[in-house]
Amino acid sequence: MTSRLFGEPVQRVEDAQLVTGRGHYLDDLGHDALAAAFVRSPHAHARVLDIDVTAALDVEGLVAIYTYDDLAASPRGTVAEALPLLIPHPALHAPRTGYALAREEVNHVGEAVVMVVASDRYVAEDAAERIVVTYGVLPPVVGIEAARSAERRTHDDVPDNVAAHLLQEVGDVQAAFAGSPRTLELDLAIQRSASMPLEGKGVYARWDAEDGSMRVYSSTQTSTSVRAAVAAKLDLPLNKVDCIAPMVGGGFGVKIVHPWPEEVLVPWAARELGREVKWVEDRREHFVSSAHERGQLHTIKVGFDDDGRLLALDVRFWHDNGAYTPYGIIVPIITSTQLLGPYKPGAYRVEFWSLYTNTVIVTPYRGAGRPQGCFAMERVMDAIADALGLDRAEVRERNFITPEEMPYDHHMTFQDGRPLIYDSGDFPATLAKLRTLIGWDDTLAQVASWRAAGRRVGVGLACYVEGTGVGPYEGAHVVVETSGKVKVATGLTTQGQGHFTSFAQIAADELGVALEDVEVVTGDTRRFGYAVGTFASRAAVMSGNAIAFAARSVREKALRIAGDALEADPGDLEIVDGVVRVKGSPAASIPLATVAVLSNPLRYAFDEASKAATQFAVGDTSGPPVREDDEPGLEGTDYYSPVGATFANGMHAVVVETDPETAEIKVLRYCVVHDCGPLINPLIVEGQVHGGVAQGVGGALYERMEYDENGQLLNASFMDFLMPYASEIPHIEIDHLETRSPLNPLGIKGAGEAGVIPSAAVFASAIEDAEGFVITAMPISPSELFDLRRRHAAGEVPSLRREDRRTEEMR
């Protein structure tokens, strides 16, 4: 047998290209294209009163200036209509979306108002600088409290600023509280951050006037859907539009939103002008005109028994959705459902309000509402442990759903509109592995002795469950060419996940060929037109299984054709190293390349190999060259569409030390146990975990969006938005559990978001443990920790009960 590649830490085949500058990202394309630049609103909330372009008109190299009026005057398409509401939901009672260019009002700093097209970006920026927009400034709504108070409105016709309100209740929460011997209440806050891919967005459009066709390149997480949106907005037949995601330098969620204004405007302008047009987002634009996430306030009441078992959980939270809701209410829905983690909540009631503010829109960022939910739930677990004086791991374990209870139905509706049913997972085993990895008891003892010696050291623990691999579907096309090379195409996109390697491993295994003989293409509608996109840790599960299915159908066909050629039963054949042979009699064999030739009956020979398939070379003339139930070519297309998400899980533990004087926070150890089912490629999975933890460290200790009361983003650069450097990321210790999913034949679950989910929770847990007082808001900076210490000393921040008990003991 060819050695199995599934499960091997195969080096990523794409990396040589990427690290030697041959990656072809969006800005590497279209060197001769015209360049677009945008005049963006400097105000968070204003009416657009007048746009004066006069001063820009004499800029040499200027090609066009477009405002909303030009879109409205466009004879073809719907570019002037509001951008689509991508994911409607019955609870989203007041959805609002923006326009490609501001119509009469701007609702956040950075909203596009005027588009400039010029010979190059430099000229476009020069012209944009000269355009004078007169605004009638309106009072902005900034922050969740301001939105909730509704003293000001983001949208005139949404008086309470509430875009959506959703309540789910499982069991009788009121009765469960009545029967709870103990209760606790917590107020918890998480601030805004953002995906911040190193490559911003970018769009490059080529209009072919003679052919009436449009080719769009976009740095997107969904090329098929951008294609559909462009076709709809520009009133073009779908088959005249293609969209290609070239190499994409990270997405992390922000590029799943579509069509971005620029994804409509750039192709539209290309058609208007009959010229290639390109726009590449710069970092400042990304900060103020792409998407953010995470900002939520939570109020939680929990009822539990003396053993720390949950009996009732009542969660209310307020979600800041920014100025518009193009992506619906996916993020708060995920918080409300995934908050439950690996636990049985008893009776559960969750209610959220999604609020408009005059800030950048909020859409999923890696983790997508789970970091907030995990933070909330894990704060509850620590609070229960502290209240009862129990070991924090023990309290968690007592509330775990057990493997015997799988599949576990929470009787709620998940983000995909389907029942929230955990398909699998062994949470006690995950925790046991983590306790072993970190040496839980020894670490706690060590930390206690350090603390006794005056050091401030704490251990944090956090558990999460992540619904991955949501539908509706993905598909794949696999073809064996007459060279014997295998070409795989799947429609979803790649933004650094190593798909060219992991997908090739799957196809190579299924077909019995070498890894280097497989080439994978993603995100190119010319190659595969049906897809959803890469988000929600779904690519490996969805396309991985689709590729396996498609490859299996190709294998079956190859064996059948080879069986005819070798006069053997296909059941007796195997494919090893690209050669089909009779099991136990390897001399009777035929290369897969030859099988590919034979699969396509020919009249014309174009090379030596193809002669074998020509009409006078084929022996059997009893039937039609292509059988009734067959097709020419050694290829297959198949799809994977699951009944629901498959649920991965993981648990993190961290040891931190805080400086007693400067309040600096240092990570001493970071341990991860992760269960995403069988690993296709451990190297890639661990890379995903590393990247996730790095973003999580950023979200917990460094990054936030600092808006002032006027809605100005004060830190819209990498100088002041503190994305951690490599020097801030701890060494990460990882162990894996591989609990198979029963939902798909490969048994796999997603891993993309895992690393980032428990970060705020685990750091809050550790810092609280180190400091001895309650942490309720993340991220946290040394300056804030210093402030908390002062407030704690002044009696304004409560001590952990642990400290009270210690004081009592000392008496």
Partner 1 sequence: MGKRDFPTRMRQDHRVKPSPFGYAAPATVEEALAVLAQVGDDAKVLAGGQSLLPILNMRLAAPAHLVDVNRLRELAYVRAEEGGVRVGALARHVDVERSVPAYDALPLLRQALQLVAHPVIRNRGTTVGSLAHADPSGEMTAVLALTGGSVVAARRGSTRTVAAADFFLGPLESALEPGELAVSAFFPSFPARTGTTFLEVARRHGDYAVCGLAAAVTLAADGTVTAARASYISVGGTPVVIDFTELLAGSAPDESGWHAAGELARQQVEPEADIHASADYRRHLVGVLTRRALGEAAGRAA
Nearer to partner 1 among residue 284 and residue 740 (C-beta): 284
Q: Judged by CB under 8 A, which stretch of 120-128, 313-321, 559-567, 798-806 contacts partner 1?
A: 120-128
Query: At its nearest, how many Å lie between partner 1 and the CB of residue 724?
Result: 6
Residue 786 sits in the site that holds partner 1 (CB under 8 A): yes
Residue 130 sits in the site that holds partner 1 (CB under 8 A): no
Q: Judged by CB under 8 A, which stretch of 263-271, 349-357, 718-726, 796-804 contacts partner 1?
A: 718-726
Nearer to partner 1 among residue 687 and residue 782 (C-beta): 782
Burial of 327 (0-12, 13-18, 19+ CB in 10 A): buried
Residue 782 sits in the site that holds partner 1 (CB under 8 A): yes
| Angle (nearest 5°) at CA 394 between 391 and 399 | 135
Are 343 and 310 within 8 A, CB to CB?
yes
Q: According to CB under 8 A, which one of 662, 666, 745, 806 is a site residue for partner 1?
A: 662
| Angle (nearest 5°) at CA 328 between 323 and 330 | 115
Q: According to CB under 8 A, which one of 18, 23, 91, 125 is a site residue for partner 1?
A: 125
Residue 621 sits in the site that holds partner 1 (CB under 8 A): no
Q: Which position has the token pair 């939570």?
A: 298
* Sign (positive or negative) of CA dihedral 422, 301, 357, 78: positive
Q: Judged by CB under 8 A, which stretch of 123-131, 221-229, 500-508, 532-540 contacts partner 1?
A: 123-131
What type of residue is 106?
V
φ, ψ for residue 711, nearest 5 deg: 85, 15
Residue 282 sits in the site that holds partner 1 (CB under 8 A): yes
Q: Judged by CB under 8 A, which stretch of 140-148, 442-450, 631-639, 658-666 contacts partner 1?
A: 658-666
Q: Judged by CB under 8 A, which stretch of 344-352, 572-580, 657-665, 739-747 contacts partner 1?
A: 657-665
Q: According to CB under 8 A, which one of 8, 81, 91, 120 is a site residue for partner 1?
A: 120
Within its chain, how far is the Cα of 97 from the centroid? 21
What is the CB neighbour count within 10 angstroms for residue 208?
A: 13
Give the Cα separation of 333 and 330 in Å (integer).
5
Contacts of 556 (CB under 8 A, 6+ apart): 570
Q: Judged by CB under 8 A, which stretch of 335-343, 345-353, 633-641, 711-719 contacts partner 1?
A: 711-719
DSSP E strands, 676-742:
732-737
Query: At its nearest, how many Å lie between partner 1 and the CB of residue 61?
Result: 9
Give the Cα separation of 474 and 542 in Å (integer).
5
Helices (H), 641-795: 682-697, 759-771, 782-793
Q: According to CB under 8 A, which one of 129, 187, 235, 733 is a site residue for partner 1?
A: 129
Query: At its nearest, how many Å lie between partner 1 and the CB of residue 767?
Result: 16
- Number of amino acids touching partner 1 (CB under 8 A): 31
Longest C-alpha distance within the chain, in Å?
103
Q: Judged by CB under 8 A, which stretch of 5-13, 270-278, 385-393, 782-790 contacts partner 1?
A: 782-790
Nearer to partner 1 among residue 409 and residue 706 (C-beta): 706
Nearer to partner 1 among residue 441 and residue 796 (C-beta): 796
Nearer to partner 1 among residue 126 and residue 466 (C-beta): 126
Residue 717 sits in the site that holds partner 1 (CB under 8 A): yes
Q: Judged by CB under 8 A, which stretch of 235-243, 384-392, 464-472, 776-784 contacts partner 1?
A: 776-784
Long-range pairs, 613-621, Cβ under 8 A, ≥24: 620/564
Query: At its nearest, how many Å lie between partner 1 and the CB of residue 654?
Result: 18
Q: According to CB under 8 A, which one of 178, 208, 306, 725 is a site residue for partner 1?
A: 725
Nearer to partner 1 among residue 710 and residue 781 (C-beta): 781
Q: According to CB under 8 A, which one of 152, 182, 284, 740 is a site residue for partner 1?
A: 284
Query: At its nearest, how many Å lie between partner 1 and the CB of residue 565?
Result: 57
Closest CA to 481 of 391, 610, 385, 383: 610
Site string for partner 1, 413-442 (x = CB under 8 A): ------------------------------
Query: At its nearest, how many Å lie between partner 1 and the CB of residue 717?
Result: 8
Query: At its nearest, how many Å lie between partner 1 and the CB of residue 727?
Result: 4
What is the CB neighbour count within 10 angstroms for residue 787?
A: 14
Residue 783 sits in the site that holds partner 1 (CB under 8 A): yes
Closest CA to 472 of 263, 254, 224: 224
Site string for partner 1, 294-333 (x = CB under 8 A): ----------------------------------------
Q: According to CB under 8 A, which one of 564, 572, 577, 728 is a site residue for partner 1?
A: 728
Are 279 and 262 within 8 A, CB to CB?
yes
Q: Which position has the token pair 């000229």?
A: 123
Q: Tokens in use for 593?
A: 């390349």
Give the Cα separation of 279 and 266 in Å (integer).
7
Nearer to partner 1 among residue 36 and residue 634 (C-beta): 36
Residue 630 sits in the site that holds partner 1 (CB under 8 A): no
Contacts of 740 (CB under 8 A, 6+ apart): 424, 677, 678, 747
* Sign (positive or negative) of CA dihedral 521, 526, 529, 532: positive
- Residues 452-463, buried b or exposed e (16+ Cβ, 10 A)? eeeebbbbbbbb
Q: Judged by CB under 8 A, which stretch of 560-568, 656-664, 739-747, 768-776 contacts partner 1?
A: 656-664
Alpha carbon separation from 653 to 202, 464, 679, 728 (Å, rounded)? 38, 12, 22, 17
Count, residues in the chain:
811
Q: Which position has the token pair 């926070």?
A: 665
Residue 781 sits in the site that holds partner 1 (CB under 8 A): yes
Query: At its nearest, how many Å lie between partner 1 and the CB of residue 661?
Result: 4
Are 384 and 302 within 8 A, CB to CB?
yes
Give the Cα separation of 799 and 772 in Å (integer).
6
Give the Cα separation of 538 and 634 in Å (integer).
28
Q: According to CB under 8 A, which one of 85, 186, 722, 797 is a site residue for partner 1?
A: 722
Residue 58 sits in the site that holds partner 1 (CB under 8 A): no
Give the Cα separation of 171 and 411 in Å (integer).
9
Residue 127 sits in the site that holds partner 1 (CB under 8 A): no
Give the Cα separation of 555 and 3 in Å (integer).
17
Q: Tokens in use for 356?
A: 């408009």
Are 55 and 132 within 8 A, CB to CB?
yes
Q: According to CB under 8 A, which one of 55, 618, 643, 714 is a site residue for partner 1?
A: 714
Give the Cα separation of 393 and 397 in Å (integer).
6
Nearer to partner 1 among residue 180 and residue 359 (C-beta): 359
Q: According to CB under 8 A, which one of 81, 481, 735, 787 is a site residue for partner 1?
A: 787
Residue 121 sits in the site that holds partner 1 (CB under 8 A): yes
The string of DSSP letters for 530-584 reads: ----S-TT-HHHHHHHHHHHHHHHHHHHHHHHHHHHHTS-GGGEEEETTEEEETT
Residue 720 sits in the site that holds partner 1 (CB under 8 A): yes
Nearer to partner 1 among residue 589 and residue 781 (C-beta): 781
Query: At its nearest, how many Å lie between partner 1 and the CB of residue 253?
Result: 24
Q: According to CB under 8 A, which one of 620, 661, 808, 809 is a site residue for partner 1?
A: 661
Residue 25 sits in the site that holds partner 1 (CB under 8 A): no
Using DSSP's 3-state secondary structure scheme, residue 322 falls into strand
Give the Cα separation of 319 and 216 in Å (integer).
34
Residue 668 sits in the site that holds partner 1 (CB under 8 A): no
Residue 702 sits in the site that holds partner 1 (CB under 8 A): yes
Residue 706 sits in the site that holds partner 1 (CB under 8 A): yes
Provide the binding-site residues for partner 1, judged by CB under 8 A: 119-122, 125-126, 129, 282, 284, 661-664, 702, 706, 714-715, 717, 719-720, 722, 724-725, 727-728, 781-783, 786-787, 790
